[in-house]
């Protein structure tokens, strides 16, 4: 029973379907009004508004009547800084996604093994999440500073040729930001994972032990598939954070050296507010939203489309 409960949301879906008549469900609909309003008016409304204005020559203020067609997009895709930003986001995004999930899950699995001092470790892993990105960027900028950070310390230990200066090296600067980003966010992913692991019934562990399945295999074959909703939550949390990464870069490198660590959100924000070119900023953010949709629509289809069949 427990197995189907935790893993199988499918079976649950049938329960509320029965009273799913218009009137019986009235209070649910009324209760959902804030959500419906937010979804339709705020998110859809603002997105449409943004997309519309990306075809205009809006500068400091939105100018719906200055239609320029695809000009903003042409300029966007011929701007080197934007292309660098996209590339950085791809590298940062993939690495951050994989590392956050792996680190988060591993730490959660380790903590879940009835260890001593779990509370201490959990607090240590989670506390960075309480700090803002500005602070995270600042601290890691220091630690990675070649003149008085890690590089200097290791050199003082006698390893003279040691170099570790990601923030001053255009080729690897994005990984320097990654180190800080993982530090800040992986603890929360660990907590989510831990919550999921704690939801796994002991009977499962007993059964696998009786069958003689090794622990690591149990995790991969049995536990992770059962934690699918947890992984989805973690994935959305991480991915939405990746798309929006801005403060961290500003605090750590300001996009430098040169334009080597620029990210799309920074391009959008600076074009909108610093360059006072709303149209360009909106065009860039529309491109970001399109890329989100490309990922989200297939997921939504799998998640909900599949369900309607049963």
Residues in 90-119 at the binding interface with another protein, rule: CB under 8 A: 103, 106-107, 110-115, 118-119
Minimal distance in Å, beta carbon 51 to another protein? Answer: 11
Tokens in use for 118? 């779990």
Does 202 bind another protein (CB under 8 A)? Our answer is: yes
> Using CB under 8 A, which of 68, 102, 232, 302 touches another protein?
232
Torsion sign across C-alpha atoms 103, 108, 114, 115: positive
> Using CB under 8 A, which of 17, 69, 294, 309 touches another protein?
17
Minimal distance in Å, beta carbon 165 to another protein? Answer: 8
Place of tokens 């934007």: 82
Does 273 bind another protein (CB under 8 A)? Our answer is: yes
> Using CB under 8 A, which of 162, 164, 175, 205 touches another protein?
205
Minimal distance in Å, beta carbon 175 to another protein? Answer: 15
Looking at the Cβ atoms of 161 and 200, the one nearer to another protein is 200
> Using CB under 8 A, which of 95, 97, 152, 172 touches another protein?
152
Q: Report CA-CA distances (Å) from 211 to 109, 206, 223.
A: 21, 9, 15
Minimal distance in Å, beta carbon 91 to another protein? Answer: 18
> Using CB under 8 A, which of 99, 191, 193, 223 touches another protein?
191
> Using CB under 8 A, which of 166, 183, 193, 223 touches another protein?
183
Does 134 bind another protein (CB under 8 A)? Our answer is: yes
Query: In three state form, how does the secondary structure of the chain look?
Result: CHHHHHHCHHHHHHHHHCCCCCCCCHHHHHHCHHHHHHHHHHHHHHHHHHHHHCCECCCCCCCCCCECCCHHHHHHHCCHHHHHHHHHHHHHHHHHHHHHHHHHHHHHHHHCCCCCCHHHHHHHHHHHHHCCHHHHHHHHHHHCCCCCCHHHHHHHCCCCCCCCCHHHCCCCHHHHHHHHHHHHHHHHHHHHHHHHHHCCCHHHHHHHHHHCCCHHHHHHHHHHHHCHHHHHHHHHHHHHHHHCCCHHHHHHCCCCCCCCCCCHHHHHHHHHHHCCCHHHHHHHHHHHHHHHHHHHHHHHHHHHHCHHHC
Does 209 bind another protein (CB under 8 A)? Our answer is: yes
Does 124 bind another protein (CB under 8 A)? Our answer is: yes
Distance CA 93, CA 238 (A): 9
Does 222 bind another protein (CB under 8 A)? Our answer is: no
Does 153 bind another protein (CB under 8 A)? Our answer is: yes
Site for another protein in 233-262 (CB under 8 A): 233, 236-237, 239-240, 243-244, 246, 250, 253-260
Does 31 bind another protein (CB under 8 A)? Our answer is: yes
> Using CB under 8 A, which of 73, 97, 145, 224 touches another protein?
145
Does 139 bind another protein (CB under 8 A)? Our answer is: yes
> Using CB under 8 A, which of 201, 207, 213, 224 touches another protein?
201
Does 62 bind another protein (CB under 8 A)? Our answer is: yes
């Amino acid at each position: 029973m427990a197995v189907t409960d935790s893993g199988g949301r499918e079976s649950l879906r049938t329960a509320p379907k029965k009273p799913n008549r218009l009137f019986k469900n009235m209070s649910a609909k009324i209760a959902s009004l804030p959500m419906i309003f937010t979804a339709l008016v705020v998110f859809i409304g603002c997105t449409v508004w943004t997309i519309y204005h990306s075809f205009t020559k809006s500068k400091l203020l939105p100018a719906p009547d200055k239609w320029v067609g695809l000009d903003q997009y042409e300029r966007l895709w011929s701007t080197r800084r934007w292309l660098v930003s996209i590339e950085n986001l791809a590298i940062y995004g993939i690495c951050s996604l994989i590392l956050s999930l792996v680190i988060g899950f591993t730490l959660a699995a380790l903590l879940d093994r009835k260890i001593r001092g779990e509370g201490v470790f959990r607090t240590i892993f989670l506390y960075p999440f309480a700090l803002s990105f500005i602070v995270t960027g600042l601290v890691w900028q220091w630690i990675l500073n070649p003149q008085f950070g890690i590089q200097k310390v290791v050199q003082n230990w006698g390893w003279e040729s040691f170099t570790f200066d990601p923030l001053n090296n255009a080729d690897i600067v994005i990984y320097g930001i990654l180190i800080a980003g993982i530090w800040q966010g992986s603890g929360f992913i660990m907590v989510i994972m831990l919550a999921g692991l704690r939801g796994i019934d002991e009977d499962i562990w007993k059964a696998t032990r009786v069958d003689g399945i090794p622990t690591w295999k149990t995790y991969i074959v049995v536990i992770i598939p059962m934690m699918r909703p947890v992984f989805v939550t973690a994935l959305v949390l991480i991915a939405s954070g990746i798309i929006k990464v801005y403060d961290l870069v500003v605090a750590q490198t300001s996009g430098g050296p040169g334009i080597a660590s620029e990210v799309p959100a920074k391009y959008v924000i600076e074009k909108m507010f610093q360059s006072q070119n709303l149209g360009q900023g909106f065009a860039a953010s529309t491109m970001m939203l399109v890329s989100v949709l490309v990922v989200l629509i297939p997921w939504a289809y799998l998640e909900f489309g599949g369900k309607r069949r049963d």
